[in-house]
Amino acid sequence: MTLKISISGVRGIYGETLDDEIIKKFGVAFARFAGSGTVLVGADTRRSGSAVKAALFRGLRFDGKIKIIDVGCLPTPTVQVLARALGADGAVIVTASHNPRQWNGLKFVRPDGIFLPPEDAQRLLTLYQEVSAADLERTREGRLAVETKFDAGDIHLEKIKKIVDLDLLKRSGLRVVLDTCCGAGALLTGRLLDCLDVPYLQVNSAPDIEQCGRPLEPTAENIAGLGQQVREFGADIGFAQDPDADRLAIVDETGAAVGEDYTLCLLAEYMLDLLRQGRVAGENKLCTNLSTTRIIDDVAAKYGAEVIRTRIGEVNVSVAMKKNRAVAGGEGNGGIIIPAVGYGRDSLAGIALLLQYLAESKRKVSELIAGNPRYFMHKTKLDCTSAQQVADILAKLRARYAAEKLDTQDGLKVTFADGNWLHIRASNTEPIIRIIAEAETKARAQALCAAALD
């Protein structure tokens, strides 16, 4: 399936399943969703970005009520921050995140910098389906007026600088290797490290993902080369982003990729400690989704903090964080949300805070990781032919695990007495059922997944 239209936005292979008509229809729909006022448009570094933006602009301007500001090539979290900071009526980000290079897509943002929650996303999809041939004809008319603001990334950098101790970082002696994936973070993230006065080596630095020398998703397997560069540079830490720079993965001082889950867990522990010291605002709560590692619960237990679990999807975590005034949160794919900066997954804020954590603790990344238990996650999937198949599987498993702790807000999550867990849910973007388990050993996690398939 190479066109994905869901509450998360739209993604497809540009020029094949994702064409200008679909993009213009979404532009018309979002213009009606916003009503009037200003819409920001940003993009990652895919070569199809300029063509996608041109079609999007036509759709947004179909009735002349929307003022468009093109903020250029910027990370997704930066555009989210800008939507709120500039008082925009919404924003659209042209990106396919970590999907392969030939893909592109659209992410939609509301005025407070949060992606559209399910009810708003469904309304946008309804408006999309209602776009008529006459509406599309209007997108071809008239002169296209678009303002530009290509220095807007400075607003994001200033917000991040306010949450760290610049003098401490300057004196820290820390060294960094930065893999920006030739993506939207390629220009802005280096500028951030310049502001922090931290020496760094940047790789995959050209703002063109066609030139990226690794697969785009920053999984441990895909960033193995970063480990070698960390060792050669004598760095204290390596950071890897994805194409739109909302996700952050870490390599420790030995060159070992520690896994995306640990990004969130390290930041959560640091933020809870800052909260205990009275140095940050918020409640003693963390928000994350149902499939995030149980290490987050171990971290929270050290500080007597509450962990609030949500359905899968960044927006669900963001909304829960805002509602509960959580001090931090995010997702186990390397997505960190720091409310003091914004309510989007933000690799740049994560980089700054992790460097401050290292500087203050005077400990190595491997030592910080070793301070929490080690668990193993296993993921598999099952082809899904219908909603009825999903319902039948979930009903069978609910009956089988009735004696265990069950959470049914997103499929079925089973938490066993020993803390191990199993999560079964229908994918939002593919015709599959996802099955994830976590346990003390890889074999046990695999066995839990196998039992669910039996």
Write out the catalytic residue numbers: 97
Contact (CB, 8 A) for 38 and 46: no
Task: State the Cα–Cα distance between residues 107 and 335, nearest whole angstrom.
Answer: 16
DSSP of 11-78: EEEBTTTB-HHHHHHHHHHHHHHH-SEEEEEEE-S-TTHHHHHHHHHHHHTTTS-EEEEEEEE--HHH
Bridge partner residues of 115 (DSSP): 109
Nearest to 274 by CA among 305, 249, 253, 247: 305
- The number of beta carbons lying within 10 Å of the beta carbon of residue 354 is 23
C-alpha to C-alpha distances, 298 to 28, 51, 125, 304, 398, nearest whole angstrom: 47, 47, 39, 10, 26
> CB-based contacts of 106: which residues, under 8 Å, 6+ apart?
9, 10, 23, 26, 52, 56, 92, 93, 94
How far from the centroid of its chain's Cα atoms is residue 297's Cα? 21
Task: Return left, alpha or beta for 214; rule: phi > 0 is left, psi -120 to 50 is alpha, else beta.
Answer: beta
> Strands 37-43 and 66-73: what pairing?
parallel
Task: State the Cα–Cα distance between residues 86 and 182, nearest whole angstrom.
Answer: 27
Task: State the Cα–Cα distance between residues 427 and 338, nearest whole angstrom.
Answer: 27
Task: State the Cα–Cα distance between residues 199 and 207, nearest whole angstrom.
Answer: 20
Nearest to 421 by CA among 393, 451, 394: 451
Bridge partner residues of 424 (DSSP): 412, 435
> Strands 66-73 and 9-13: what pairing?
unpaired
The H helix count followed by the E strand count for the chain is 16, 20
Q: Is the dihedral of CA 210, 77, 230, 377 positive or negative?
A: negative
Q: Which two tokens stand for residue 89?
A: 């009526």
Q: Give the end-to-end CA distance of the chain in Å, rounded to a whole number.
A: 27
Task: State the Cα–Cα distance between residues 262 and 331, nearest whole angstrom.
Answer: 10
Please name the helix (run of DSSP H) or strand (run of DSSP E) that holds residue 405, with its range, or none: strand 405-407
